[in-house]
């Protein structure tokens, strides 16, 4: 495979890099990368992969462009609203770089097609916004021994890592099992600053290019996080878990009967406590911490006087909690707090319970004893 005269001009700035050159550019031209999700993360990742000359790019997204997407999904224009994202993204990439091949799929990634889709490519970029697909990508990529470049964003923050079967941990080593549906607030609920998507999507593209060129140090065994409010980057070392059902027991979504039924693994059973039981402990003077994992705006609107650590910030703020202390976790209705309890138990906290029904149950069950003006 050779570069055409047009490609020599197009990629001249890359060709002058010592880690790229003609040989590296040919590697990029031969590479095949699929991006699952063409939203905020996918928009930036896809644009930079196409611009860099990745020869074959796959796009898989079943959604259509919505007006509210344009704030962060910069691959689309006003004229694309109402049209399939995968097809509109394909059109944009070919307009940017007609020398590449772009394969668009408007169906969703499922347990039935995951292996067949990912097998066509060298690596996968996980630019999805839901846990079901994220775990499916992880398991399929692990099975096929394909690098999985995964990122996620929420509000002002984002994180990225690279998961591989040959070295380093997989996504399950970081988060062993997915939470129930609708547990984590979506972008529409919690909000997101558009540039966070652009920043993390660009990092995903950079990781893909490094892996293709076999240059630099990929984020394997490392989790990179950023908060754009302070532009503080932090890096955490990740290791394989001895109890990982995938790395050590070779059990994945692809083989679990429950996943075949509803694409979601059974969430861990966590110990729950009712509002009345919690109130009784308070009256008895039992020493425990009430942990509120809602967002700041929710806390400001109504709270029970607990310690506020939003769920998205919890992994980075575990040092603020005592692993030996009795902790009761709550959110609005009990969903997010269940995920927080699972996380705390996974990292070794001794005694943690979930407030069943959250703050809604507290006010419903104890409205007479505790007015809205009183805090817990």
The catalytic site residues sit at: 187, 331
* Other Cβ atoms closer than 10 A to 48: 19
Which residues are bridge partners to 57 per DSSP? 33, 102
Using CA of residue 135, residue 140, residue 142, residue 145, what is the dihedral sign? negative
For residues 84 and 25, give the distance between their C-alpha atoms in angstroms, rounded to a whole number: 31
């Amino acid at each position: 495979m050779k570069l055409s005269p047009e490609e020599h001009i197009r990629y001249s700035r890359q060709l002058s890099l010592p880690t790229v050159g003609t040989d590296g550019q040919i590697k990029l031209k031969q590479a095949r990368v699929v991006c699952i999700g063409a939203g905020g993360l996918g928009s930036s990742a896809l644009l930079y992969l196409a611009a860099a000359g990745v020869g074959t790019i796959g796009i898989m997204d079943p959604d259509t462009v919505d007006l509210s997407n344009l704030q962060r999904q910069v691959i689309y224009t006003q004229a694309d609203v109402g049209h399939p994202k995968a097809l509109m993204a394909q059109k944009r990439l070919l307009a940017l770089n007609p020398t590449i091949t772009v394969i668009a799929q408007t169906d969703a990634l499922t347990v039935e097609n995951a292996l067949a889709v990912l097998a066509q490519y060298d690596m996968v970029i996980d630019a999805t916004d839901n846990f079901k697909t994220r775990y499916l990508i992880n398991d399929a990529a692990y099975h096929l021994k394909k690098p999985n470049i995964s990122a996620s964003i929420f509000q002002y923050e984002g994180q990225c890592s690279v998961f591989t079967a040959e070295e380093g941990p997989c996504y399950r080593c970081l988060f062993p099992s997915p939470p129930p549906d609708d547990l984590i607030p979506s972008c529409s609920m919690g909000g997101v600053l558009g540039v966070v998507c652009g920043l993390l999507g660009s990092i995903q593209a950079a990781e893909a290019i490094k892996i293709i060129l076999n240059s630099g140090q990929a984020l394997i065994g490392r989790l990179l996080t950023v908060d754009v409010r302070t532009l503080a980057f932090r890096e955490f070392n990740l290791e394989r878990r001895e109890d990982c059902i995938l790395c050590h027991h070779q059990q994945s979504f692809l083989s679990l009967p429950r996943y075949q039924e509803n694409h979601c693994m059974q969430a861990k059973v966590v110990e729950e406590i009712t509002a009345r039981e919690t109130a009784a402990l308070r009256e008895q003077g039992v020493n425990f911490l009430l942990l509120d994992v809602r967002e700041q705006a929710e806390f400001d609107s109504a709270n029970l006087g607990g310690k506020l650590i939003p769920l998205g910030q919890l992994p980075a703020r575990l040092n603020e909690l005592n692993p030996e202390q009795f902790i009761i976790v709550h959110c609005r209705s009990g969903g997010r707090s269940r995920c927080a309890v699972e996380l705390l138990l996974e990292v070794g906290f001794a005694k943690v319970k979930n407030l069943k029904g959250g703050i809604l149950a507290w006010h419903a069950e104890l409205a007479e004893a505790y007015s809205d003006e009183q805090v817990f």
